[in-house]
Amino acid sequence: MIHYGNSTQEQKEIIYSRIKSEIYCNINDIVEGNQWDFDDLENYYDDECVHCGKKEEEECECFEATPHEVFEWYFVSEQLADKLYAIGQPVVRTFSFKAVWGRTCTGQSIALDPTFWEIFQESL
């Protein structure tokens, strides 16, 4: 798996350009203080048990899914929203918010998140 830390400059440029073309803008100011309907949030829950950290398929007896903690909201392209959804990332696709991604990282460049390296791995 190629990630930021072991990638070449050329591979970083590919990731930068995909991020630039498929993530449109941060919408934290729109979402914050809004009555966000969490029923519209797909992949709201992680597949890890909040009690023991086991994955759902391992069937612990105490299973209770952990909600994702979203720090940042972004308008993204619809095709990127599909890819984010497929790898378990929180997304919202309602009429008023066409395609929104909930980023569960913060405090670093998006290019450092493993998320986009995973999604665009095959194009590197």
Stretch in the footprint of Zn ion (CB under 5 A) among 6-14, 50-58, 95-103, 111-119: 50-58
49 is a site residue for Zn ion (CB under 5 A): yes
Cβ closest to Zn ion, residue 49 vs residue 70:
49
- Tell me, by CB under 5 A, how many residues bind Zn ion: 5
Report the nearest approach of Zn ion to the CB of residue 51 (Å).
4
In sequence order, the 6+-apart residues with CB closer than 8 A to the CB of 89 are 43, 101, 102, 104, 115
Cβ neighbours of residue 39 under 8 Å, at least 6 residues apart?
Answer: none
- In three-state secondary structure terms, 65 is strand
Q: Give the integer Cα–Cα distance in Å for 11 and 3.
A: 9
Report the SS3 class of residue 23: strand
Q: Which of residues 57-96 bind Zn ion (CB under 5 A)?
A: 60, 62
Nearer to Zn ion, 32 or 61 (CB): 61
Q: Of 60 and 112, which has the nearer Cβ to Zn ion?
A: 60
Per CB under 5 A, residues contacting Zn ion are 49, 51-52, 60, 62
